Structure 1
Amino acid sequence: MPNEISYSRKLGPLTPFVGEWEGDAGVDLSYHNKDDWTTETTYFEKACFKPIPVQENGQQVLWGLHYSMTAWRHGEEAMDPFHDEVGFLLWDKAHGEVMRSVVFGRGIAILAGSSAGPHDKVLRFDAKPGAAHYGILQNKYLLERAEICDFKSDFTVNDDGTLGYTSDLLLKLAATGAEMHHTDRNTLHRVKRFHPGAEHG
């Protein structure tokens, strides 16, 4: 299948992500402002990664995936999700970089990135507020109450074919005056495969 091989190579380290995934071992550690406590929430999650058309910024060429991740607290799978995000994972082969452009439903937008090779199994995405290239924006209410000081996340392609991730938001909480790490982690299992070049939108 020469077309698949050619397309997959252009996706670089993002190639194994293509498809639909589910994970039932999610753990969210976060501060609950209403109750003034920090606690862990376990969750079920669905994720989807679909190739997009090649993006050209002058001399820069980006190949990538449109993705979405939605999570439900255990026991609430038939109710509204407690977390929803959409974005793009992008691969810049010439400059050896991966990028994660993500918008969270809470009014947060992040462009994170780092260096990566075409066959890397662990991809890291870092961002800081105020950075000129990989930065963070959040709505006024959240900025005043839970200011994001740092964002780090990674995806790991495991040998058994699963996809693991961690996410860490360093927050400065107005309610306590202290900093805390809001973390999420899960392991996803692919539930649907499709040709890497079959969908572009």
Structure 2
Amino acid sequence: MAEMRGPRRLGPLSWLVGDWEGDVGEDVSYHNKDDETVPTGYFEKASFRPIPIQENGQQAMDGLNYKMTAWRHGEEAMDPFHDEVGYLLWEKTTGQVIRTVVFGRGIALMAGGDVALYDEQFTLRATPGDPNYGILQNKYLSRRAELRRFDCTFTHHADGTFSYEQTLVLKLAATGGVEMDHTDKNTLHLVKRIHPSVEFA
């Protein structure tokens, strides 16, 4: 018997709905104070919630608003070192997933890519100057840590967890303009499911 599947209005974003936590995060980045590139472990909370259908003329998109916050290991009772808010959008007619995100450091970007309805993994990209999938940053960062590219991959695993890996390519003034990768990755597990079996139990 063929597998029966629902319509998945949120397409390849469907499995993200809910609240997630992950304690195996790894941030590899240049630390100005120490003048070296080192890994930092972190704990992270993420929340993804459906939004109303977004219509632009003939265009219609479904999606999620989201928030991701991270604390360095050993600093969970202190202020987070990373905070971001944004949207993940699914345009079924073109097979596009779009991530619009604002980072607390004064960075905003829109990344996108081709994704099929039932894909359990997708990759999105952005580059400065692209009229559709581009990157903006504040004046200080443009001078000191110019963003050259952004890539991110989300993967839904068979055990119900999801992981992401993302890379910001930076041109750093502190290292003489040498480009380097600032990478982040984590695996998160679902802590609150948004589903009738939970809401109306």
Question: TM-score scaled by structure 1?
Answer: 0.93
**Residues 99-132 of structure 1 deviation map (CA, whole Å, 9 limit, x = unaligned):** 0000000000010000000100111110000001
Q: Would you say how many aligned residue pairs link Structure 1 and Structure 2?
A: 194
**Residues 124-172 of structure 1 deviation map (CA, whole Å, 9 limit, x = unaligned):** 1100000011000000001100000000001000111001000100000
Q: In the alignment, which residue of structure 2 is the partner of 1:188?
A: 188
Equivalents in 1 of 2:46, 2:107: separation in Å?
A: 19
Q: In the alignment, which residue of structure 2 is the partner of 1:47?
A: 46
Question: TM-score scaled by structure 2?
Answer: 0.93
Equivalents in 2 of 1:130, 1:35: separation in Å?
A: 32
**Residues 28-68 of structure 1 deviation map (CA, whole Å, 9 limit, x = unaligned):** 00001122111000000000000000000111100000000
CA positional deviation for 1:7: 8.7
Compare relative contact order (CA 8 Å, sep 6+) and give the higher one, 1 or 2. 1
Check conservation: 1:8, 1:15, Cα contact below 8 A: no
Unaligned runs of 5+ in 1: 1-5, 197-201
Equivalents in 2 of 1:189, 1:118: separation in Å?
A: 22
Equivalents in 1 of 2:6, 2:144: separation in Å?
A: 44
Q: Structure 1: which amino acid aligns with 2:191?
A: V
Q: In the alignment, which residue of structure 2 is the partner of 1:101?
A: 100
**Residues 59-102 of structure 1 deviation map (CA, whole Å, 9 limit, x = unaligned):** 11000000000000001000000000000000000000000000
Unaligned runs of 5+ in 2: 197-201
Taking only the aligned residue pairs, the percentage that are identical comes to 63
Q: In the alignment, which residue of structure 1 is the partner of 2:75?
A: 76
Equivalents in 1 of 2:76, 2:174: separation in Å?
A: 31
Equivalents in 2 of 1:34, 1:184: separation in Å?
A: 20
Equivalents in 1 of 2:66, 2:194: separation in Å?
A: 14
User: For the structure 1 residues 47 and 8, does the alpha-carbon distance in structure 2 shift closer, same or farther, using more than 3 Å as the test?
Assistant: farther
After superposition, residues 119-134 of structure 1 pair within 5 angstroms as: 119-134=118-133
After superposition, residues 1-201 of structure 1 pair within 5 angstroms as: 9-176=8-175, 177-195=177-195
Check conservation: 1:30, 1:38, Cα contact below 8 A: yes
Equivalents in 2 of 1:42, 1:95: separation in Å?
A: 38
